Amino acid sequence: MGLDNIPKEYPCRSKGTAVLVEDDRIDCKATQAAGGCPWLNAGPPEEGRVLGMFGTDCWYRGKYGNYLLGEEMTMVDEDMTHLTFYGDNEDGTEKSADSCLVLADFIKDHITEVSDEENHNALVYAQWYLRWVAAECGGLVCWY
């Protein structure tokens, strides 16, 4: 089973900068070329990007994020709700902006424990991404 994280609200749509095509879909490449992609304009880290398996650059591959958390950051916590890329609602399909910030802070507080450079860079990107979706997107939709 996979897990992709999708912005709850696409900021290019809410800010009116999205280039739309048939069926009111966002053309990400055209939006980026026109300078209207808030994700790209925010300057995401080049190293460590883990993009969603399908979809757009502003999606995140949560399955890999969860792997990193389990592999690199031993999580010993009775309430693991916020310390995962799954959602914090009843069925795990939405992660609130606050929950994204809790996970970003957890990564920040424990990233010094990560010695593998590739995993470190991936967690730096994950932390950046979680803060970006919290500020710009109202959280995440968790598709699995």
Whole-angstrom Cα distance, residue 108 to residue 12?
A: 27
Per residue of the chain (144 residues), give pLDDT as tens: 589 999 999 999 999 999 999 999 999 999 999 999 999 999 999 999 987 667 789 999 999 999 998 877 765 454 555 789 999 999 999 999 999 999 999 999 989 889 899 999 999 999 999 999 999 999 999 998
Element (DSSP H or E) covering residue 107: helix 97-110
pTM beyond 0.85: yes
- Domain residue limits, the chain: 4-143
